Structure 1
Amino acid sequence: MNVLVHLAVLQELVARHIPERQALVWRDQILTYAELLGRSRRVGRALCRLGLGCRVERAALQPWESGHDHVAIYAYNGAEWLEAMFGTLHARAAFVNVNYRYVADELRFVLATSRARAIIYHAAFAPRLAAVRDDLPLLAHLIQVRDDSGHALLPGAVDYEEWLAAERPDPLDRPYSPDDLYVLFTGGTTGLPKGVLWRHEDVFFNGLGGHIPGFERLDSEEKLRTHIEMGIGGRFLILPPFMHGAGQWSAFNTLHRGGTVILPDEVRRLDGHGAWRTIVRERVDQLSICGDAFAQPLLTALREGGYDTSSIRAITSTAAVLSPSVKRALAALLPPGTLFIESLGASEAGLQAMSWNAAAEDAPAYQLRDNSVVLSADRTRVLAPGTGEVGWIATKGHLPLGYLGDPERTRETFPVIDGVRYCLGGDRARHADDGRLVFLGRESMCINTGGEKVYVEEVERVVKSHPAVYDALVVGTPSPRWGQQVTAVVSLRPGAELPSVAELRAHCAPHLADFKIPRAVLGAPEIVRSPSGKPDYAWAAEHARAHGGSHA
Structure 2
Amino acid sequence: MAYTFADLFEHSVDAMPDRLALIVSGEEVTYRELDERANRLAHYFQSVGLGVGSHIGIQLHNSIEAMVAVLAAFKIRGVPITVNYRYTSDELVYLYENADLTALVFHRGFAERVAEALVSTPRVKYVMEVPDELALGNEPSIPGAVAYEDALGNQSPLRVGEHAFPERSGDDVYVLYTGGTTGRPKGVVWRQEDIWRVLAGGYDFYSGEPIADEYQQSRGGAAVAEPMRWCMLPPLIHTSALMPTFNALFSGNTVIFEPKFDAAQVWKVVAEYRPQVMVITGDAMGRPLVEAHHELQPDASSLAVLASGAALFSGSVKDAFFDVFPNLMISDSVGSSETGFGGIGFATKGLEQRGGPKVGANRFTVVVDDDNRVLEPGSGAEGWLAKLGNVPLGYYNDPVKSAEIFREVNGARAVVTGDRARIEDDGSVTLLGRGNMVVNTGGEKVFVEEVEAVVKAHPDIYDATVIGIADERWGNRVAAVLRVRDGVEPDFDSIEKHTRTQLAGYKIPRSFWIADEVVRAPSGKPDYRWAKEFSQNSDPVHRID
CA distance in 2 between counterparts of 1:40 and 1:452 reads 54
CA distance in 2 between counterparts of 1:231 and 1:324 reads 36
CA RMSD of aligned residues (A): 1.7
Q: 1:357 and 2:347 equivalent? A: yes
Going from structure 1 to structure 2, the CA distance change for 1:142 and 1:225 (only over 3 Å counts) comes to closer
1:391 is aligned to: 383
CA distance in 2 between counterparts of 1:80 and 1:483 reads 50
CA distance in 2 between counterparts of 1:274 and 1:294 reads 13
Q: 1:321 and 2:312 equivalent? A: yes
2:115 is aligned to: 130
SS in 2 for 1:250: helix
Query: 77-86 vs 367-376, which deviates more?
Result: 367-376
Q: 2:518 aligns with which of 521, 524, 527?
A: 527
Contact map agreement 1:126 1:151 (CA 8 A) in 2 = no
Query: How many residue pairs are counted as aligned between the two chains?
Result: 531
CA distance in 1 between counterparts of 2:350 and 2:227 reads 27
Contact map agreement 1:233 1:255 (CA 8 A) in 2 = no
Contact map agreement 2:231 2:277 (CA 8 A) in 1 = yes
Amino acid in the other structure paired with 1:34: R
Amino acid in the other structure paired with 2:351: E
Going from structure 1 to structure 2, the CA distance change for 1:489 and 1:125 (only over 3 Å counts) comes to closer
Q: Structure 2 length as normaliser, TM-score? A: 0.94
**Unmatched segments (≥5 aa) in structure 1:** 55-67
Q: 1:220 and 2:213 equivalent? A: yes
Q: 1:295 and 2:293 equivalent? A: no
SS in 2 for 1:415: strand
Amino acid in the other structure paired with 2:311: A
Contact map agreement 1:429 1:441 (CA 8 A) in 2 = yes
SS in 1 for 2:57: strand
Tell me how far 1:157 sits from its aligned partner: 1.6
Runs of 4 or more consecutive aligned structure 1 residues displaced over 3 Å after TM superposition? 229-233, 432-435
- Residue deviations 1:131-170 (CA, integer Å, cap 9, x gap): 2223222211111112352332422221111211211111
Q: 1:75 and 2:60 equivalent? A: yes
CA distance in 2 between counterparts of 1:380 and 1:424 reads 8
Q: Structure 1 length as normaliser, TM-score? A: 0.93
1:114 is aligned to: 99
CA distance in 1 between counterparts of 2:416 and 2:35 reads 37
Tell me how far 1:368 sits from its aligned partner: 4.3
Tell me how far 1:321 sits from its aligned partner: 0.5
Q: 1:538 and 2:529 equivalent? A: yes
CA distance in 2 between counterparts of 1:551 and 1:541 reads 19
Q: 1:372 and 2:365 equivalent? A: yes
Q: 2:45 aligns with which of 23, 44, 47?
A: 47
Q: Within 5 Å, which residues of 2 pair with 1:96-495?
A: 96-147=81-132, 148=135, 149-171=137-159, 172-214=164-206, 216-228=209-221, 229=223, 234-264=228-258, 267-268=259-260, 270-334=261-325, 336-363=326-353, 364-376=357-369, 378-495=370-487
Contact map agreement 2:439 2:467 (CA 8 A) in 1 = yes
Contact map agreement 2:199 2:244 (CA 8 A) in 1 = no
Contact map agreement 2:374 2:409 (CA 8 A) in 1 = no
Tell me how far 1:223 sits from its aligned partner: 2.5
Q: 1:508 and 2:499 equivalent? A: yes
Q: What is the percentage of aligned positions where both structures have the same residue?
A: 37
Tell me how far 1:474 sits from its aligned partner: 1.1
CA distance in 2 between counterparts of 1:303 and 1:79 reads 31
SS in 2 for 1:116: coil
SS in 1 for 2:128: strand
Q: 1:18 and 2:16 equivalent? A: yes
CA distance in 1 between counterparts of 2:289 and 2:372 reads 44
SS in 2 for 1:457: helix
CA distance in 2 between counterparts of 1:280 and 1:309 reads 6
Contact map agreement 2:361 2:427 (CA 8 A) in 1 = no
Amino acid in the other structure paired with 2:26: D
Going from structure 1 to structure 2, the CA distance change for 1:138 and 1:367 (only over 3 Å counts) comes to same
